[in-house]
Amino acid sequence: MGSRVVYRLIIIAVVLLVPHTAAGYVLGPPPAGRMLMTIDVDPLPYPYIGGTTTADFIVAAALLDWNSVGVGWRPDFNFFSYRFAPVAQSCARDGVNAVTTRYTKCGFFWGDTIAVTISSFDGNGRRVEADIIGNANLWWDYYDGPARYLFGVVLYDIYRVAAHEAGHIIGLDHEWTGSAIMAERYNDVDSIQADDVAGAHAVAFPPPPAASTLVKPSGSIATAWPTYVWYAVADSTHYYLWVDDSTTNKKIGRWYTAAEAQCPTGMGWCSATAETGATGDSRWWIQTWNPAGYGPWAGPLAFRAPAPPGHAELVSPSGTVNTVTPTYRWTAVPEATWYRLWVGDGGDPARITQWYRAADAGCGSGSCVVIPTTSLAAGPARWWIQGWNDAGYGPWSSGLSFTVVPPPPPGHATLASPSGTIVGLSPTYTWNAVPGATWYYLWVNDTMGNRIMQWYRAADAGCPDGVGTCSVTPSTALAPGPAQWWIQTWSPNGHGPWSLAMTFVATTPPPPGRATLFSPTGAIVARTPTYTWISVPGATWYYLWVNDSSGTRIAQWYPAADAGCAGNTPNCSITPPTILASGAAQWWIQAWNPSGYGPWSTALEFAIR
């Protein structure tokens, strides 16, 4: 080759002469990451000696050939990517890795330079941008084999020049000793050689990291803020944690440096606890990264964090209800341990706001039921349910509307007795039960004015079902004379009307009558006999008098109950412990009630032998 032209790389001022082994490659600054090249050489088809193609495709082929070789310690077979697009600036550090041809070398004469690669570096001396510029003043062609000439002038093979400059981008310097595409001078080598391949594999360039493997969380967990644990990946400098949960996709999307994830050595486990919690059914992923690019995603791994309950489905009331205290029923929500019932009516938009334990609402059956005692106003009403558990509040249910049309209050009572003239001052009041009435109000006036005003439960009046008769016997005694009484009914639907008045005359009962004695009589043996007499109607106390042969031996009052004849029992009897003297004896009984003393009985004689 008579006219050899020198490549010149303007960035590499000093050639690094590393000790040669079998190969003769020389390393330059390594790339910081993969390179996307923007090719803008000549998109027009051109009949080259080797066939018809475009300069742009030839450059792309050179890049792809380096990809097939692989770049770095663990060869990256996707180091170069490219696109065909216009390039505005061929020399600027503008984030675009341009491949162009120009008539000047960034405004300077080309001299004998065929092409240059202009690079920019990061703080670690690694190449972050590279622009390849070819000398547009030269004759270019595309062919295999030895260098060719026309009229004594070199025809430069686009492929081998592009491959050479791309070799600089991947981190190779000039090859001085062997046969290589990276030889300093244009020559007969038309493809990437073994030395070039060895050099490419020696470049200090890690490929993007491999995929991690997720460890935990998985399955059901007890916290919304789990520690995420995954396997460290060699050469991964960053890890991206992505978590979807039951509320939204990408609940968490956050980068961690390997140091933050406590795995800077690239070995063992990485772990991180995100600031954001996860709720319910969740999935997570990890993506690795280093300056060469993104690694593959790992995951997802599913886990279930605690979640608030879902929303309840309301069942009833809806439509029209005929009570002011309706029963509320809804479908149980799994995991809800409490429910809040909210009811608004025309009088109060928050008439009922009440929490219920799920167990108290019977939700274990799948259906919850509560019956608040708070009465609603008549008219439109609306209700909602909200669930809760340790993980928080669930959403409110949709509202369910209903209309309260209360049934009428109970009717008036019809009185039965007392009426007319009665004996006694504490009569029993009796009236006919009223359907629906749950309470009755008794009002009694006597000669002194109002004497009794007292509410009675229907159950306490013996008429809980609203049928039959009701009766109560207040202990309050009336003044003797005329009296009047009334009953008013009540139910949850309101007060019923007062009954008509019923009048009666309370009279004092007479004193008790004379007792009739039964035994002892005649000759007896017992020294402490049992005294038996026929009970006297209305008597509440009895006075026993006994004389024996020594004189008065017993004079003692006994309540009728102690004598066993408090009610309508026919006979009374008492056995005093007093021992009687031998000989003749006689006894008497006098009855008593609050109206006075009855007459003494006639004496009954007996004798103790």
Report the interface residues with Zn ion, using CB under 5 A: 7, 9
Q: How far apart are CA 584 and CA 474, in angstroms?
A: 49
Beta carbon of residue 205, minimum distance to Zn ion (angstroms, whole number) = 19
In which residue are the tokens 């919690």 written? 277
Q: How far apart are CA 26 and CA 29, in angstroms?
A: 10
Q: How far apart are CA 128 and CA 57, in angstroms?
A: 24
User: Which residue number, 138 or 352, has a Cβ lying nearer to Zn ion?
Assistant: 138
User: Which residue number, 161 or 333, has a Cβ lying nearer to Zn ion?
Assistant: 161
Beta carbon of residue 186, minimum distance to Zn ion (angstroms, whole number) = 10
Beta carbon of residue 184, minimum distance to Zn ion (angstroms, whole number) = 6
Beta carbon of residue 189, minimum distance to Zn ion (angstroms, whole number) = 13
What percent of the chain is helix, strand and coil (3-state, nearest 5)?
A: 5, 45, 50
Beta carbon of residue 161, minimum distance to Zn ion (angstroms, whole number) = 9
Determine the Cα angle at 406 with ends 403 and 408, to 5°: 155
SS3 162: helix
User: Which residue number, 134 or 317, has a Cβ lying nearer to Zn ion?
Assistant: 134
Beta carbon of residue 146, minimum distance to Zn ion (angstroms, whole number) = 20
Q: Which of 448, 451, 449, 473 is nearest to 460 (CA)?
A: 473
User: Which residue number, 8 or 340, has a Cβ lying nearer to Zn ion?
Assistant: 8
DSSP 233: -
Beta carbon of residue 64, minimum distance to Zn ion (angstroms, whole number) = 20
* Contact assessment for residue 40 and residue 190, using Cβ atoms and an 8 Å cutoff: no
Q: Which of 265, 288, 283, 289 is nearest to 228 (CA)?
A: 283
User: Which residue number, 188 or 360, has a Cβ lying nearer to Zn ion?
Assistant: 188
User: Which residue number, 7 or 82, has a Cβ lying nearer to Zn ion?
Assistant: 7
User: Which residue number, 117 or 290, has a Cβ lying nearer to Zn ion?
Assistant: 117
| Through-space distance between the first and last CA atoms of the chain, rounded to whole angstroms | 174
Name the closest residue to Zn ion (Cβ).
Answer: 7
User: Which residue number, 181 or 324, has a Cβ lying nearer to Zn ion?
Assistant: 181
- Amino acid type, 448: M
Beta carbon of residue 11, minimum distance to Zn ion (angstroms, whole number) = 10
DSSP 279: -
* Contact assessment for residue 190 and residue 160, using Cβ atoms and an 8 Å cutoff: yes
DSSP characters for 211-248?
---EEE--EE-S-SSPEEEEE--TT--EEEEEEE-SS-
Determine the Cα angle at 30 with ends 67 and 241, to 5°: 80
* Contact assessment for residue 315 and residue 402, using Cβ atoms and an 8 Å cutoff: no
User: Which residue number, 7 or 587, has a Cβ lying nearer to Zn ion?
Assistant: 7
